[in-house]
Structure 1
Amino acid sequence: MTRIYKPLMVLIALVFWNITDTYAQEALKPRPSPLEMVTMKYEDTYIKITYCRPHKRGRKIFGDLLPFDEVWRTGANEATEITITGSIKLGDQIIKPGTYTLFTIPNKDHWTIILNSELGQWGAYNYNSKLDVIRFDIPVLTTKEVYEPFTIAFEQKAHSAELVMMWDRTKVTIPIVFM
C-alpha cells in the first residue's frame, strides 16, 4: 500500500502546487486608454479602424497635451491602424485596399490626415514621412459638446460615409466615397 500511497501523495501535491501557482498570478489591470475597434461595411468594401481611446480627464488637450503642428498617433499606446478591403476616396485622395497607420497633425483650424505604410508602430516616435501613402488637410469643427474619451466613428450615408474623430470640443469629419 505504501508503494501506491507515496506516488499518489506526490501527484496530489503537484496538482495542488500547479493550481495555486496558476491562481497566484497577478491580475492584469485594464489600460487607462482601452483598445477600441470600429468597423463599417458598404457592399463589398469593409473598413476597420483599431485604436486606443485616451480620456480628457480635466486636461487641456489640443495645443497643450497634444501640441499643435506635431505628428500624433491618433489615439494612445500603439499607433492607430486602418484596414480597407476595397478602393475608396478618403477626403480627396484615392486609397487602394490595404492596412495603413493613421497619423494626424492637429492644428487650431485644420488637421493633416496621413496614411502611412509602416505598421506596428508604438506612438509616432519612429514616424517616417517618406512612407506616407497620402496626406491631406481637413477643417476642424468646434463643438458645444465635450467628448471625454477620444472617439472615432463612422456615419454612413446612402453611397458614402464620413469618418469622424472627436475629442474635447474638437470634431474632424473626413468624407469617404466608395469606388
Structure 2
Amino acid sequence: MLRRIFLLAICCIGLGLAPTMAQDSLTPEPSPLEVVSVKLNDLYMKVVYSRPHMRGRDIFGGLVPYGEVWRTGANEATEITLTEDVIFGGKELPAGTYAIFTIPNEDSWTVIVNTDLGQWGAFKYNEELNLFTFEVPVEKTDVAYEPFTITFDLNKDSVSMNMIWDRTKVTIPIEPQ
C-alpha cells in the first residue's frame, strides 16, 4: 500500500511539473542558432551563426556600433566552412573553416576573415589572426528584416553571400577557383 502511495505521489509531482517544462521548451531562443549552406559543383559552403532579432531596437549605429568589430550575429562568432578554395570578396580563401567578423559603417562594411575559431562574441578578437579583410558596400532594403539573416544566392558560376538585418544588406561575391 505504501508503495502505491509513493508511486502515485511521484506521478502527481511529475504531472505537476510537466506544464512548466513544456512551456519552457516552447519559449523561443532570443538568438537561435542557424546553419545555411550551398553547393556549387564540387564546392560546398556552410555558415553557422546566431540570429539576433531587432525587438524594437536601433540596430546599426545603435546596438551594433559603427566602426567597431562585430561578431556578425549573436553568441559565438559566425563561422564559414568551405570544401574548396574560393575567391571570397576578391581575395583567395583556401578550403577550411574560418571566423567571420565585420566592422559595419553607414556606407560600407569591412569583412574580416579570421583563423581563431570557437570565440564567444568579439571580446577576444585578435587582429593578428586575420587572414585578410575587404570592403563591401551597404545596400538599403525596402523592408526591415526582424532577425539577422545570412543567405546565399546561387548563380551559374558563382555564389553571393548576403548579410541582412533591419534595412541593411551587404553582399559578398564568391567564386570557385
Specify if TM > 0.5.
yes
Q: 1:114 aligns with which of 112, 115, 119?
A: 112
Structure 1 residue 147 corresponds to structure 2 residue 145: yes
**Shift in Å at residue 155 of structure 1?**
0.2
Query: Percent sequence identity over matched residues?
Result: 53
CA-based RMSD: 2.4
What amino acid does structure 2 have at the position aligned with 1:41? K
Offset, 1:30 = 3.8
Runs of 4+ in 1 over 4 A off after TM superposition: 24-29
Name 1:39's counterpart in structure 2.
37
The amino acid of 1:67's aligned partner reads P
Distance 1:99 1:31 in 2: 25
**Residue 74 of structure 1, aligned match among 72, 76, 79:** 72
CA distance in 2, matches of 1:52, 1:117: 19
Match for 1:176 among 171, 174, 177? 174
The offset of 1:95, in angstroms, is 0.3
Aligned positions of 1:93-112 closer than 5 A: 93-112=91-110
Equivalences for residues 17-28 of structure 1 within 5 A: 27=24
Question: What letter is aligned with 2:43?
Answer: T
Relative to the length of structure 2, the TM-score reads 0.86
Q: State yes or no: 1:165 paired with 2:163.
A: yes
**Partner Cα separation in structure 2 for residue 98 and residue 176 of structure 1:** 15
Provide the rounded CA distance (Å) in 2 between the counterparts of 1:145 and 1:79.
26
Q: Deviations over 1:81-134 (max 9, x none)?
A: 100110010111010001000100000000000110000000000000000011
State the distance in 1 between where 2:29 and 2:143 align.
Answer: 25
Counterparts of 2:159 and 2:39 in 1: how far apart (Å)?
10
- Alignment length, in residue pairs? 174
3-state DSSP of counterpart to 1:130: helix
Partner secondary structure for residue 173 of structure 1: strand
Structure 2 unaligned segments of length 5 or more: list them.
Answer: 1-15
Counterpart amino acid of residue 43 in structure 1: N
Aligned residue for 2:123, secondary structure, equals coil
- Helix, strand or coil: the match of 1:119? coil
Partner of residue 84 from structure 1, selected from 82, 85, 93:
82
Give 2:60's aligned residue. 62
C-alpha separation in 2, matches of 1:31 and 1:78: 14
- Tell me, in whole angstroms, the C-alpha distance in 1 between the residues paired with 2:97 and 2:31: 22
Name the residue aligned to 2:11: none
Alignment correspondent of 1:5: none
1-side partners of 2:124 and 2:29: how far apart? 23
